[in-house]
Amino acid sequence: MQVGCYALVFLANPGTVVPVVVSEERHRELSESFHYCKRCRVIREKGVYHCKECDVCIDGYDHHCPWVGKCIGKGNLRYFQGFMASTLVLLLFITFATPICSYLLH
């Protein structure tokens, strides 16, 4: 289950915002706007943030996860939460099952 959730997090699109091609004049106009990303050349709506590690704008950006190696955003947040929950269950199982099995085997 944990490997499956990890794969879904890794393979799912986190919500990368696709740049729109605009003229150089329009680019200069938009650059002065607060809600325009100069690096990605996208109009940033509410909830869209630029990730410095990936160098892309992500819709619903939560954070950049070093364990998965990509951004966590609107498109893969649910899978990431499943991955974290399955990791917690595995950790709890190992924590409690190891001493019990050790006790029963001796």
- pLDDT score of 34: 62
Instruction: Tell me the pTM.
Output: 0.78
Confirm whether 40 is a catalytic residue.
no
More confident residue, 33 or 98: 98
**Residue 26 pLDDT exceeds 80:** no
| Active-site pick, 5, 57, 65, 71 | 65
Exposure class string for 75-91: b at 16+ Cβ within 10 A, else e: bbbebbebbeebeeeee
Residue 87 corresponds to which tokens in the numbers above?
A: 């990791």
pLDDT tens track for 75-100: 999 999 999 999 999 999 999 888 88
54-66 mean pLDDT: 94
- pLDDT score of 29: 73
Cα 59 to Cα 50, 75, 87: the distances in Å are 9, 8, 25
